[in-house]
Amino acid sequence: MNETQVTVVGNVITDVKRRRVGDGEGPVSFRVATNERRFDKASQQWVDGDRLYLSVTCWRRLADGVLLSLSKGDPVIVQGRLYTRNYELDGQKRSVTEMDAWAAGPDLSRCSAVPKRPRREAFEDGAPEIPAQAGPVKEERTAREEVEPAVASASAAPNGKVSRSNGESARPPLEVVKSASS
């Protein structure tokens, strides 16, 4: 397995989904597409070059943030360890490019975002609570289905902050606003 640390700028091309692993929470995954743009001196135009498609996996707190912030079609910047995994299918050798991400977020050159960070105290146990499944079931859910029930316990105030039942305030999750050129 070959590994390289890289930053990829592209678009989310699949739904952001969380996999269940055993009794606990699992990683979040999605696919990113990016293509090279280069200036062709002969035609004096910008042209599309090679394309790269890769599967991105996010773990722990990054997974929670990605679930709240990104969805299919969003411009994204992802940084992490890029590797190629080789396998065989029906006697044919194949490979797939994957990334274990340690940072991900909206590409602010192609959209705008308003940072909204929940404080750990906003949740009873320090993290968004996601409904548990009975037994070790692999289940995939979209980001909105997965996290919104946990955030629903906090209500947004007119000033844009989240108010808790004890009257204190915390910042709500990141909100991505797409530009007209997206």
What is the structure's pLDDT at 55?
95
Q: In 3D, which of 83, 81, 109 has the Cα closest to residue 96? A: 83
**Upper half-sphere CA count for residue 125 (Cβ side, 13 Å):** 5
What is the structure's pLDDT at 180?
52
What is the structure's pLDDT at 113?
87
Q: 143 burial class (0-12, 13-18, 19+ CB within 10 angstroms)?
A: buried
pTM value is: 0.60
Q: Give me the CATH code for the 2-38+49-178 domain, please.
A: 2.40.50.140
Domain boundaries, the chain: 2-38+49-178
